[in-house]
Structures are given as structure tokens and as C-alpha cells.
Structure 1
């Protein structure tokens, strides 16, 4: 069983990394080094798939490409072709393809940042020496972009390793699903813990390598100078634009339209008074957790800025390790702690476990944003306040927090969206009777109720989109 899980998990992770790297590199190269048109709009289209959780994109493709789905039915009845014999969306290749549609924006954004940070003079010098674009890619672009590419690849690998909802939709067994089933189906916490050890170790090793060996170093910002290495025209330009359009259709337009069609079909059945209670529960849990985690992050930020020395600050990266761990591992670890401490998993203790799991998983999200925000406030502000006899607490509360309000709001919203989407932690640790839109999607997709699940997915995407929009507007005004 272990070796099968290892092979299946790593096959999916490596294939997804390869697919996303090829897609992301191609997109970043087109945007930064080609004469392709509409770059501003293409940039937005390339990052749009980020709005879809993996499990939402997954059930759209599974529901559309299963035997009774709309696409196979059309081919059978209209063209007499059974495409199921050619396309197995639940194979490792099919799952990796769908995952790469959702995760390739990570690689694209990393490499776009890397390419924009490169010195245009290097390319001009190389071209003056007669170097062709392929040689520039091999000898200049790839070596300089490697830390960024590695960081993006690690992020994609960890996303696949941590994913539960997406692989569940495909009935594809990985460590995350095996851990969940060991606890829920076999009621064996010992088996779940044993299965958790290896992926947890892999996640932590990759995270630490990325942090200390291939860490991306951001230098002083400079004006971006566009460099055109590839000039497309005629047939080649049409082929490139065709590939771009195909990607946009597969990664965003098709899933969005399918979700809309399914949700309209199910709205009469699914939408009732209890559904609004479900949305309310999702908002309440998300809001309270986001407030809790952002508050904890601010407390640590205060100590890091005003109290901690070099030794304590060197240990701060450890607090971000939780994001690299699968949610099912975090949840099972907390359940094991409760069992060892003989704490009853009821009432406030159940909510405490849920909040603690979210804190471990998502603490790095607001802490990183807040750390970057406060680094933009000069230390001279602290010294000026101290010279006036003000305490560190007063300086933080009256001077720094007001300056950080836009960043605090952004941090709150980012945690809110992450909690909305989180599935395994909520499924395992939720108190009795508590549900969210994510758990509702899991329950419906487990039964193949794609149309009914689509309505929950639309509301989930809408909540995240509205939260992000409000945050952006408030930040703009600030």
C-alpha cells in the first residue's frame, strides 16, 4: 500500500510540475520577450485560473468528460465517436493535465518576475556577439531564472502533495486521501499518523531547501526595460495566438461556463433557506478564523519588530512550515494530541482544535504580508518615537498600526479566502453539525451530483471574489 501511494503521489506531483513549468515558462517568455499583442490582457487571462480551487476545476472536468457527460454524449450521438476510449480524465495524465491548468499561473508569475528583473544590457551584448534566442535561453535566461523556477516548482509540488479535494474528485489515491480514509473509514488514528510521516518529511525538506538554498532574493526595484527576442508574424503569430486562446478556454472559459450552466439547472432544487444558513456558516467561520490568525500575526509582528533579537528572528521561518503540510496531516496531528491528552472533542474544545489547525496551516499568509509591510516603515520612526519618551507598545499601536491598515486588511482577506476554500481540515475537525461551502461540495461530488455542487462552487468563488474586490477598493482609498 505504501509503495503504491508513493508511486501515485509522486507521479502526479512530478507530471504536474513538468506540465506547469512548460506552460508557465512559455507564457512568461511570450509576455516578456516577444512582440505578441495585448500583453496587458493576456497577463490577466493567464492568472485567472487561480480563482478556481483544484477540486472545483476537477469536478467540472470529471462531470463533463465522464460517460454520461455532455461532451462524450455529443460525440457519441452526433459523430458516432466514443471519445472515452481515447480520453481517460481520471488517469494520472488526466489529473495532471487538470491540475496544471489551475497551477501553471504560479510558475508564470514567478518566471515573469524573474524575467522582468533581468538586465536588458545582457541581451543586447549577447545579440551583438551573434547569439541566437535559443542560446540566450540556455546560457542567460534559464541560469538566472533557476531560483525562481525552483521556487515555483516547489510551490506546485507542495500544492499537489497537500491537495485533498481535487484528487478525491478523480478517485485518485494519494497520501492526503489515504490519511483521511484511514481516520474516517477505518477509525485508525495510528494508521493515519504512520501515513502522515513520509509526506510531512518530504514537504518540510523541500520547504527548507527552497528557503535556504534556492531562496529568491529581491534586489532594489528598477525600471523594467522590454526586450524583444522573438518577433512573430504571419502563420507563426496565428499559431501562438491559437495556443493562447486554447489555454484560456481550457483553464477558465470552459470551467466558468460549465459551472454557470450547472448551477442554473440546480438552482430550483438546491437554493432554499438552509442554503443561506450554509453561506452564513461559511462567512462566520472564515471571518472569525481570519480575525484570529491576523490578530496572532500582529502580536508576533510586534515582538519581532520591538522585542526579538537576532537569535529569535532566525527562528521565525519555522512558523511558516505549516503551509507546506497537507491539511489532513495537520488535522490528524491535532486529533492525536487530543487523544493523548484525553481531551473530549466537544463544544469549545472542538472549535479550539479547528482554529488551531487553521492557524498552523495559514499563519504564514498574513505574517509574510505584514512583515513586508512593516519593513517599508523606516526604523527612524521607532527611534523618533522613543526619543519622545514613548514606549514600544505605544509606537506600534499609535504609529505603525495605522500605517499598516491596508496591509492588515489584505492579510485578513487572504486568510478569509484560504479558509473558504480549505477542505480536509474542515472535514476532519469540524464540530458536529457545522458545514461550509467546501464541505458541501465534497459531499455532493462524492455522490456525483455535479450540478448541485456547481451552485456551491459559484457561491464560493463569488464570496472570494467579492472579498478580494472590497479589499482592493479599501486599499486604493487608503
Structure 2
């Protein structure tokens, strides 16, 4: 067997690791007690489905509107502050949604500064006024919207920058106003990009556990965790996981179907850059305000709130406990990032050197994790691995009198596998964005010079795609740092991470203390966003920004 064939077989192994948790969750659901299944369908299922659907509709629609409008404004017009706003609009992507929930609960809850100031100014008592409840379905939708709208913004902005001005100018010469030309010409051409960004936001909404759990909103994600830990009913957790998986795959399928029918925006035969008119007076300040509001809600206010909470919490970030939490988080996320990117490189290499239908299926199978919530992957891993642990323990106890304990489920390696399965799509997209710039005749030249198999990968592909590999590493690393539902289910008892620490402190209503690990998570999240913002700031690299934006938002 040649070394190139060995690499191709290793790619199959990576795909199997990514697909196995999903198949295991499906099998666990069907092999569970059917009585439990019927009770789930008749009791909690309608409530979870209704709440999840409402949340998906609100967040999907809101992110599509905010992301597309702000992208159009900063791309087409010049107005006060547009240069820094086009970068700042991507910053909320650094926030985990559950961290945003902690910040706004501290700000808007009854003992928070807003309601306290309102009572001090008016002299009202607690029952003398009505104030919107932040811990509600609407509050969860708001938190998810302000965190996830950059998915649409990044892809829509890249699409608008690639549109030719010709069609827009024709609409203007036919008497259409700028708003009408935007709605009837530019927006339809950018619809695939906007729909793709909204799909990513919807997927994150379906997968979210920390925000909805903190706000006590009953969705499939909270149901899985409650069935697993509170009720100890693993068959019910697996069956709820199957429902959530079916819901996520249905959304992904619908998006792919409409994207296949839609025409993507492109440069066409003749590309004319849009001339950016300057908005002055009230119009300019209105555009500035519309773009500033998401930045304030999604970045400035929560950072100020978290900083205020952390400053008065008495927590020492350099204490041995927090140093240990950061070490644990960096270790497991770093290992997961390296292994995931290696797997993505193997799959990408096979798809490039053997461009067959099988290769396309491999890429599709490995990338399924983007449509599967972390809780589903965790259940799919935990159920069979716990059974295997019990079999090993029973066999060792009977034969040698040795109690092996939890060899597999008690290790961090199960977390690493879950992260790899969950974020393989992000690594694949980031790597492919770099490989797309390498002409295929490079491979033929390399082979003619004796560079085949691993040498072709090592000496030709990786040096050219080095920046994309680094981007993939950072994206997976940060996503693994922020992942909550899979970490809560799979982490060993003596292995805490920053995400778990922040969630547990917030669940105990110790929001000020939860601000410290939350700020660290945000700081790590700013790393890939800073890379993206650097690309966005370069006006001459629209194509590179588009590819990097697609890779960033795939996570």
C-alpha cells in the first residue's frame, strides 16, 4: 500500500469518527424503551418543538434583517464612522450567547442598575411599574440575535461587494428609488448568502443550551440535559436528541434546496464597482445610528457590564484555581484543534487528489457536525462508550479482580472527539478557502518533480495554504473553548473548564463571579475575529475577505 493510499484511508477513519456519534445517537434512540418514547411524544415534545420553532423563526428573521441592512449600508454608502463600523459590526461574534445573557441579566434584572435607577428616580416600589422580563423567550431571542447577526453580515457584505453596479444602476434609471433598487435588485442577488448566514444563526440557535437554560426557556437542548442529569433517563435523552437532530437536518435540507434553485451573485462578464455616494445630514446620522446600535448591544454594553461585574467580584484571575481552569480549557481545545485540522487536511487532500462522487460524500459526511448540536454528539458518544466501559470493568473484575472504573468516559479524549465531530466543518471550510486559490496544475507540476503523496501535501499544498490552516486552528480552538452542552455532559468530574465554571456560577446566581471566566472566553473569541477584521479592513482583498468570512461563520 502506497503512502498516498494510507492518507486516503486515514481520511476515511476521520469521517467515521465524525459520523459515529450521530449514528450512535440514532441507534440509542431506537433501542431505548418505547414506553419512554411514547411519553416523550405526548408530554414534553409539543412544548419543546413549539418553543424551539418560535426561537428559530425570531432569531433567523432578525439576524437576516440586521445583517443584510448593515452590510448594505457599510458597503454601498459613505457616512460618518463607516470605516470603523464595518469592522466593529463583526465584534459580537466573539461572544458566546450565554455570556451575553449573564451581562444583560445583571443589567436589566430587578436588582440591576437599570431598574434600581428607575426606582430611585421615580420613587416607585417593586409592584408600581412594569418592566420587560429579560429571562424569557423574547430575552433569549434578543441575546442570540445580537450575537449571531454577524453571520449574515459577513456573508452579505462579501456578496454585496462582489455585485456589479450595472444592474443596480439600470434599476435607478428606470425610476426606482435607492431603497426599491436595493429590495428588488441587490437583495435578491445576495439572497443565497443571506440565507446561508441565517442558516448558520439558526443552527447555533438550535444547538444553544447555555442561554435558554439560564433563562429557563424549555427547548430540545434543555430537555436533553434535564433528561440526562436531572431525571437520569438516558433513553429519553437519546430520543430527544434524535428529534433535535431531525429538526436541524430538516432546516439544513431546506436551505440547501432553496440555495440550489437560487442564482448566486457574481461579477458576471463585466464588473463595474459601485460608486459609494456620501450620506450627509440626517440621512448620514441615521445610517450611523442603525449600524452603531448592533455594536452597542452586541459588544460595547456587555463588555462594560462584564468588566464592572468582574471588578467588584473579588475573583483573582491569577489564582491557582483560575490558572488551572485556563490550563484545562486551553489544553483540551488545543488538542481538539490540532487533531481536527489534521483530519480536515487529510479529507481535503483526498477530495483534491481524487475528485470523485465518493470524495464529495466524504466531505459531506465529515461536515455533518455543523448541523448537529453539541448535546446530540455528546449523547451519541456517551451512551455506547459508557456501555463499553461497563463491559470492560465487568470483564476485568471477573477475570482479574481489578476495578478499572471509567477508562473512556472518564477521560478528556471523549471531549476531544466530540469537539472534532462538531467543528470539522469549520476546519474544512477554512482549509478549502485556502486550497481554492491553488491552481490544479500545481499538483501536476509537483508530481512531475517527484512530489507525490505525503510530499505533495507537505511541500506543495501546506506551504501555500499555511494561512488557511492557521485560521482553521484558531477557529476550532475558540469554538471548542466556548462549547458548553457537550462539555457539560462529557467533562470528567475532576476536570473543569472556563465554560463550565461560568455556567455553574451563573446557575447559582453568582453573576459577578461568572463574569471573570466569561471575560476570558470573550478575550479568546476576539482572536479569530481580529484576524477577520484585519481582512475586512483591506478594501483591495474582497475575495479573500469573502472566503475568510465564509470560513469564520461555518463554525
The TM-score with structure 2 as length reference comes to 0.79
- The answer as to 2:69 corresponding to 1:22 is no
- 1:237 and 1:373 map into 2 onto residues whose CA distance is 37
* 2:52 corresponds to which of 1, 4, 9: 9
Whether contact under 8 Å (2:433, 2:468) holds in the other structure is: no
8 Å CA contact 2:136–2:216 kept in 1: the answer is no
**Alignment length (residue pairs):** 473
RCO (CA 8 Å, sep 6+): is it higher in 1 or 2? 2
> Does residue 1:347 correspond to 2:407, yes or no?
yes
Q: In 2, distance between residues paired with 1:295 and 1:4?
A: 41
Matches within 5 A, 1:244-259: 244-259=291-306
Q: Which segments of 5 or more consecutive residues in structure 2 lack a partner in the other structure?
A: 1-43, 393-404, 539-555
Report if the CA contact (8 A) 1:67-1:84 is conserved: no
Partner of 1:422: 483
Deviates more, 1:71-80 or 1:126-135: 126-135
8 Å CA contact 1:62–1:170 kept in 2: the answer is no
Q: 2:337 aligns with which of 290, 300, 309?
A: 290
- Structure 1: any 5+ residue segments left out of the alignment? none
- Is 1:56 paired with 2:99? yes
Q: What is the aligned partner in structure 2 of residue 210 from structure 1?
A: 255
Say if 1:148 and 1:472 are closer, same or farther in 2 by CA, change over 3 A. Answer: closer
1:191 aligns with 2:236: yes
Q: Which residue is 1:226 aligned to? A: 274
Is 1:309 aligned to residue 356 of structure 2?
yes
- Alpha-carbon shift at residue 181 of structure 1 (Å): 0.9
Residue in structure 1 matching 2:122, options 79, 92, 102:
79
Contact 2:52 2:206 (C-alpha < 8 Å) held by counterparts: yes
* Matched residue, 1:264: 311
CA–CA distance in structure 2, aligned partners of residues 293 and 315 of structure 1: 15
8 Å Cα contact 1:306-1:392 kept in structure 2:
no
Paired position in structure 1 for 2:15:
none
CA distance in 2, matches of 1:198, 1:84: 41
Report deviation, 1:71. Answer: 1.4
Q: Distance in 1 between matches of 2:337 and 2:510?
A: 30
Q: Does structure 2 retain, via aligned residues, the 8 Å contact 1:287–1:416?
A: yes
Mark the CA change 1:472 to 1:287 in structure 2 (over 3 Å): closer, same or farther.
Answer: farther
Comparing 11-20 with 128-137, greater Cα deviation is found at 128-137
Number of the residue aligned with 2:448: 387
Match for residue 369 of structure 2 among 322, 341, 350:
322
Instruction: Give the corresponding residue for 2:503.
Output: 442
Distance between the aligned counterparts of 2:107 and 2:483, measured in 1? 24
Using the alignment, how far apart are the partners of 1:196 and 1:116 within structure 2? 40
After TM superposition, where is structure 1 displaced by more than 4 Å over at least 4 residues in a row? 81-84, 215-224, 268-271, 339-345, 466-473
Q: CA RMSD in A?
A: 2.6
| TM-score where L is the length of structure 1 | 0.91
Structure 1 stretch displaced more, 137-146 or 168-177: 137-146
Kept after mapping to 1: 8 A contact 2:90/2:533: no
Q: 1:399 to 1:26 in 2, by over 3 A?
A: closer
Distance 1:76 1:38, change over 3 A: same
Following superposition, the deviation at residue 270 of structure 1 comes to: 6.7
| CA deviation profile, 1:383-410 (whole Å, cap 9, x unmatched) | 1222234432221122222222222111
Is 1:66 aligned to 2:126, yes or no? Answer: no
In 2, are the aligned partners of 1:410 and 1:471 still within 8 Å (CA)? no
